[in-house]
Chains A and B, each alone.
Chain A
Amino acid sequence: MFRFIGRRLLVAIPTLFLVVTLAFFMMRAAPGGPFDSDRKLSPAIEKNVLAKYGMNRPLGAQYLSYLAGVARGDLGPSLKYRDKSVLEILKENYLVSLKLGGSAILLAALIGVSLGVLAAMRQNRAADYGVMTVAILGVCIPTFVTAPLLVLAFASKLGWLPSAGWNGGALVNMVLPVTVLALPQIAIISRLTRAGMVEVLHSNYVRTARAKGLSERRIVTHHALRAAILPLVSYLGPACAGLITGSLVVEKIFNLPGLGKFFVISALQRDYTVVMGMVIFYAALILILNLLADLAHAALDPRVRLA
């Protein structure tokens, strides 16, 4: 297993390298720079500012020194938030995104698995069709539609929940954004669970369990569920990517101080280092989650051997 982890980490390094390289040169190819503003800087001041951030050197040299910095864990200073480093910005804001994404995935797993199991046990009956209809709706209604509609209903019309803001992560402020983030995941997870469960319920060992006279409930909870949710474990990586994408929209609509809001703004403002830092952060997060998913898969399924 350690050899497996080692090998995966070795593959992760070229992947991250590719991410850094692509993002660096794409960012620099963009017209304009971080120090453009309505007031034109005098050439002398501009020269000094560029020199301060080492941006007067050739692009190749800047790239190499940036790479060296990343290897040391130094993501550089932000170019727009003058007194902050990129690491500080990441540290100050990642908790909001993490809390949102974490709550959403937990909620989605809980509801999605329950719905999926329910649908599988009532296969081809009303409950099954109901759950699958909800699942299709959940996949087809994008977050940027659910978010404003829910705000319109629960904040503007009913006045039950605040329409925006973080308020230190108060529960009432989290209800709407977490729901919006979780809905598409609930849809996908319930579909995956149902498919896995239907297959497992037809397998030989479940028939054996039935023959032993176990109750259907005990068969599901003790025997079938573990095998049926295996496909979900491999879905962890894509789910995370989906949540990140969703958080870009949700943090914008609900005006939350998370990382997602920063990314688009920083890219538009040409805050090179902040954009790079966030791309690296998210790429590393996805790589780690994919690795964890593979390990969990091997732990849950004795048939899988890590090679």
Chain B
Amino acid sequence: MGASAGPPLKGRSLWDDARRRLLRNRGAVTGMVVLGLLVSAAAVGPALTPWGYDQVNKTDVWFAPLQHGHLFGTDALGRDLLARLLMGLRVSLAIGLVATFVSLVIGVAWGSVAGFVGGRLDEVMMRFVDVLYSLPFIFFVILLMVTFGSNFILIFVAIGAVEWLTMSRIVRGQTLTLKHKEFVEAARAAGLGRGGIIARHIVPNLLGPVVVYVTLTIPAVILAESFLSFLGLGVQPPMASLGTLIASGASDMELAPWLLIFPSAVMVVTLMSFNFIGDGLRDAIDPKDR
């Protein structure tokens, strides 16, 4: 960074500090680079592979990696594993992002209102979260998938609806400390209403902890989706996700171990880069936890 070359009296904002700390964290930087590669591969990869992800080829079954130009080999139906893997990665990442966004919207709205309004409403809203917390949620997600069949939107909604609870708790705690700050009082004195204060002053200041939690929620969502797909309840064939690829790889592993190993490796690398970035962000934004 060229910050040191600037004029000596230029102040550094908290975000500048956070960015410097983040860029000094080797794990987080590695995570960001790897994730960047994975995301670009998922974005453009499926268009570049010579075979389609659902292209069945009855004569090309069980090719080992590198055989006949299939970099990662083929599966029982002769489909190219690389093409399926790129598609699966795209699907898993998309589900991770969208479901996290769902949980973000619900969690931030719920937590900031509960924390800011306080009193009875706060108690009722947070009690509700407590009750939901103690439910065996995976069962409800499974029931949802069974009830309405597995469609894409439902996977987003079901997982997002589970993950918003922690987000709302974090946001509420943060809101409680924010609402007694001077700038909120100033806004109130200037005549801004409750809704305006929440939207204009509370929510933007929640950014730090929320960003950290989002980067840790995305891998949790990817994991949840893969878990459902593994049980046969998530993404349906011929569409692929990392979970369905691992599931079918696991059933064919005696014959074709590469079908299990490549998807597993991609899954683990993806989850790890998110976790490293999340840990790095937490250290950078909230240095007292180090």
Q: Which residues of A contact B (CB under 8 A)?
A: 11, 14-15, 18-19, 22-23, 26-27, 29-31, 136-137, 139-142, 144-145, 147-149, 151-152, 156, 237, 241, 244-245, 248-249, 252-253, 263-264, 267-268, 275, 278-279, 282-283, 286-287, 290
Flag if A144 contacts B246 (CB, 8 Å).
yes
Could you list 7 further interchain pairs (A-B, Cβ under 8 angstroms) beyond the known A137-B272, A152-B260? A23-B139, A23-B140, A23-B143, A26-B140, A30-B148, A141-B271, A142-B227
A31 to B140 alpha-carbon distance, docked (Å): 16
B117 lies within 8 A of chain A by Cβ: no
Closest to B219 in A: A140
A–B complex contacts, Cβ < 8 Å, 10 sampled:
A26-B143, A26-B144, A140-B272, A144-B226, A149-B260, A156-B253, A156-B254, A252-B231, A278-B139, A283-B135
A244 to B246 alpha-carbon distance, docked (Å): 21
Closest to B243 in A: A144
Flag if A282 contacts B146 (CB, 8 Å).
no
A27 to B139 alpha-carbon distance, docked (Å): 11
Interface string of B130-154 (1 = CB under 8 A from A): 0100111111101110111100000
B267 lies within 8 A of chain A by Cβ: yes
B275 lies within 8 A of chain A by Cβ: yes
Flag if A14 contacts B131 (CB, 8 Å).
yes
B195 to chain A, nearest CB (A): 30
Closest to B265 in A: A145
Decide: A264 near B231, CB < 8 A? Known: A140-B271, A142-B267, A283-B135: yes
User: Which residues does chain A contribute within 8 Å of B272, judged by CB atoms?
Assistant: 136-137, 140
User: Which residues does chain B contribute within 8 Å of A29, judged by CB atoms?
Assistant: 147-148
User: Which residues does chain A contribute within 8 Å of B249, judged by CB atoms?
Assistant: 148
User: Which residues does chain B contribute within 8 Å of A275, judged by CB atoms?
Assistant: 143
Flag if A27 contacts B254 (CB, 8 Å).
no
Flag if B146 contacts A245 (CB, 8 Å).
no
Flag if B260 contacts A267 (CB, 8 Å).
no
Closest to B264 in A: A145
Closest to A248 in B: B231
Closest to A147 in B: B250
Flag if B143 contacts A152 (CB, 8 Å).
no
Interface string of B249-272 (1 = CB under 8 A from A): 110011001001100100110011
A202 to B258 alpha-carbon distance, docked (Å): 48
Closest to B128 in A: A18
| Residues 168-191 of B at the A interface (beta carbon under 8 Å) | none
Flag if A283 contacts B140 (CB, 8 Å).
no
Flag if A136 contacts B227 (CB, 8 Å).
no
User: Which residues does chain A contribute within 8 Å of B142, judged by CB atoms?
Assistant: 263-264, 267
Flag if B219 contacts A286 (CB, 8 Å).
no
Flag if A145 contacts B147 (CB, 8 Å).
no
Residue in contact with A283 in the complex, picked from B134, B143, B219, B247, CB distance below 8 Å: B134
